[in-house]
Amino acid sequence: MIYSQIVKPTLLLDTHRCKSNIRKMTEKAISQGFEFRPHFKTHQSHIVGSWFREEGIKKITVSSVGMASFFAMNGWDDITVAFPINIRQIEEIKELARTIKLNLLAVDPETIKLLGEELSDEVYIWIKIDVGTHRTGIQPEETLTINRMIEVIDQYPLLSFSGFLGHAGHSYQSHSVKEVERVHLNSVSMMTDLKKIYSTVYPQLKISLGDTPSASMVTDLGAIDEFRPGNFVFYDLQQEEIGSCTLDEIAVAMACPVVAVHPERLQWIIYGGGIHFAKDFLTLKDGKKCFGRWVKPEGSSWSTSETMTGPFIVSLSQEHGVVQCTEQTFRNCKPGDISVWLPVHSCMTADAMGEYLSTEGGKIDHYREHLWT
């Protein structure tokens, strides 16, 4: 019984649910024949990484150079940093390129040139394409810019052109399988058009996409070479709202002591705030914000069967969470009890907590970035 030992906000990781999520996605990748390069920014953990290894995964994605070094130390030797090249980290990039197959993301020719001039070992370059999210990347029709970038890559023998990489982050705005399918098929079509244009000169070039809603909801992912979803390893309330998962597939939950109850407002106060959950939220039907949804502690894990009417966390300050109950649910907890919560955005909650407690009882590590090591 892990709940009896919990004294403060603790991020539980249900090993059973998590391994099942990993297995299902690996099987989908195998059956559809694309390369599965999971994004490790969600879990940021050596132990969770080892569960992917057990399923045969050898190539991974991360979102920072520091995270790449963290996983390289743990034996991962083919890593894509799916974030625009930060040339100020050139020393760490060079060190990584010396030891692993390092794949980087370019969004402009100037940075590729700076990189090319500094390198002593081979680095593989993906050109980031904006498939519609409009965060960053080159518009697919800007072939002049793409041509210039490839020209610069070709000038440096230590740079290799890998292909085009996109991230359909706008699938997160969808609310049905149809919408997610449309976003995904659109992205695939943009990328395959680019592949057609450039593969006559670069026959080895690949196209890479990867978002959890498409990975989870689209039955046939189409003519992609590589897919890089990350969030599916844990899922969360945001993904459940989109339709990527059921509540029962969410593999992490926050355990928080209840420290006060207010019968006149049907509210609990929990020890668990913005520094623990992070502040992503959903908007409920009644207009209230939802920062977490109650689940019932059961054995060393939790059960989602009784969660239909909440309670929900409706606001978070630094250490406090305010929970709105109904007459029915208010009596579920009193001060001193542990309450358990599905998070809205598991990547952010995991990063804020910086460690996990396994439902099997042990500690599970999480990368923590520091300026000084």
Please give the residue ranges that form the binding site for a second copy (CB under 8 A): 6-8, 10, 41, 63-66, 83-89, 91-92, 107-108, 110-111, 114, 134-136, 169, 257, 259-262, 265, 269, 271, 274-275, 278-280, 317-320, 322, 334-336, 338, 347-348, 351-352, 354-355, 357, 363, 368-372
Please identify, using beta-carbon distances, which residue of 122 and 319 lies nearer to a second copy. Answer: 319
Say if residues 313 and 321 touch (Cβ distance below 8 Å): yes
Please identify, using beta-carbon distances, which residue of 288 and 320 lies nearer to a second copy. Answer: 320
Q: How far is the CB of 355 from a second copy (least distance, A)?
A: 6
Q: How far is the CB of 279 from a second copy (least distance, A)?
A: 4
Please identify, using beta-carbon distances, which residue of 220 and 286 lies nearer to a second copy. Answer: 286
**Residue 219 CB: number of other CB atoms within 10 A?**
8
Q: How far is the CB of 32 from a second copy (least distance, A)?
A: 27
Q: How far is the CB of 219 from a second copy (least distance, A)?
A: 27
Ordered DSSP codes for 105-166: EES-HHHHHHHHHH-SS-EEEEEEE-SS--SSSB-TT-HHHHHHHHHHHHH-TTEEEEEEEE
Q: How far is the CB of 31 from a second copy (least distance, A)?
A: 29
Please identify, using beta-carbon distances, which residue of 192 and 288 lies nearer to a second copy. Answer: 288
Q: How far is the CB of 124 from a second copy (least distance, A)?
A: 18
Please identify, using beta-carbon distances, which residue of 150 and 278 lies nearer to a second copy. Answer: 278
With CA atoms as reference, report the closest residue to 238 among 310, 290, 285: 290
Q: How far is the CB of 222 from a second copy (least distance, A)?
A: 25
Q: How far is the CB of 114 from a second copy (least distance, A)?
A: 7
Please identify, using beta-carbon distances, which residue of 34 and 330 lies nearer to a second copy. Answer: 330
Please identify, using beta-carbon distances, which residue of 133 and 216 lies nearer to a second copy. Answer: 133
Say if residues 259 and 44 touch (Cβ distance below 8 Å): no
Q: In DSSP terms, which residues pair with 364 in a beta bridge? A: 356
With CA atoms as reference, report the closest residue to 356 among 7, 10, 40, 1: 10
Count of residues in the chain: 373
For residue 364, give the 3-state DSSP assignment: strand
CA dihedral 91, 96, 98, 103 (to 10 degrees): -110
Phi, psi (degrees; rounded to nearest 5) at 361? 110, -15
Please identify, using beta-carbon distances, which residue of 7 and 30 lies nearer to a second copy. Answer: 7
CA–CA separation, 300 and 362 (whole Å): 12
Q: Which residues contact 16 (CB under 8 A, 6 or more apart)?
A: 301, 359
- Token digits of residue 33: 């024949």
Token pair 């979102």 in the structure block, residue: 63
